[in-house]
Amino acid sequence: MIDANVLVIDDDDDILLSARLFLKQHFNQVLTCKSPKELNVLLSRNEVDIVLLDMNYQKGASDGREGLYWLEHILSIDKDYVVVLMTAYGNVELAVQAIKKGATDFILKPWENDKLFATLSSASKLRQSNKKVKKLEKIHSSLQKDMGRQFEHIVGSSEPIKQLQNTLVKVAPTDANVLILGENGTGKQVFAYELHRLSSRRNQLFMHVDLGSLNENLFESELFGYAKGAFTDAKEDKPGRFEMAEGGTI
């Protein structure tokens, strides 16, 4: 079973039934609808990975212009959607035009089940790759604030400083959670970074979070992230700071 959700759009009930009966054996969820005018609602209410889109809807139409229009519409909502176009009136020129406009692939009706499965399986892998890239882009964007931040090594020779340094050396190799207490300006962040630098996670990310700047409403989503549709304005997945710091130190 492939962990992907497929939306099939075609004005032919028999095509929708055939697609649903076959694809539900292989994919996590299969949604169907007869008109692309329902796209906005379906995409906003469901987590869709692959759109299998017919190219002609008006009676007698065979030039595929409707499909190309709705292809562009889908990609304007999210450029990372994976769209596979299908038509009974295929030709090389139309296929090339569809790919140029952003379609992932192009299949002819009636399809062979093996061909359909192979096409959508490849489309699913592309979708997962797009998601990973998008996630990395978000992480990169979130980390821009911390990029270039200069952390000084601890400077001092007093007995309390030496005791703290000895404690850091003992604690750093472990996976223990460490709470550093101190008044503002005493260097808690410097000691936190030194702890990271001495640990086995030194080559991974050091994630700094200023809790004082987070209000109560943003606290949970900032630290733990959220999934698309979790609330009204959650239009896409957002990784939390803990997820971004995986393998490193927060």
Q: What is the CATH number of the domain that holds 173?
A: 3.40.50.300
Q: How is residue 243 written in tokens? A: 């997820």
Structural domain of residue 26, as residue ranges?
Answer: 2-140
36 prior amide bond cis, ω within 30:
no
Lowest-confidence region among 69-73, 149-153, 236-240: 149-153
Q: Is residue 53 within 8 Å of residue 86, measured between CB atoms?
A: yes
36 part of a folded domain: yes
226 part of a folded domain: yes
Q: What is d(CA 142, CA 244) in angstroms, rounded to the nearest whole number?
A: 9
Same domain? For 163 and 218 the reply is yes
45 part of a folded domain: yes
Predicted confidence at residue 154, as pLDDT, reads 75
178 part of a folded domain: yes
Same domain? For 10 and 117 the reply is yes
Same domain? For 97 and 202 the reply is no
Q: What is d(CA 27, CA 17) in angstroms, rounded to the nearest whole number?
A: 15
Same domain? For 83 and 165 the reply is no
The mean pLDDT value for 217-233 works out to 77
Same domain? For 132 and 173 the reply is no
Domain count, the chain: 2
Residue 132: what residue type?
Answer: K
Predicted confidence at residue 209, as pLDDT, reads 80
Q: Flag whether pLDDT at 165 surpasses 70.
A: yes
Consecutive H or E run containing 49: none
238 part of a folded domain: yes
Same domain? For 19 and 82 the reply is yes
Cα–Cα distances (Å) from 204 to 69, 130, 198, 246, in that order, read: 45, 23, 12, 8
The mean pLDDT value for 43-52 works out to 90
Interval 172-220: pLDDT, tens:
888 888 888 888 888 888 888 888 888 888 878 788 787 777 777 778 8
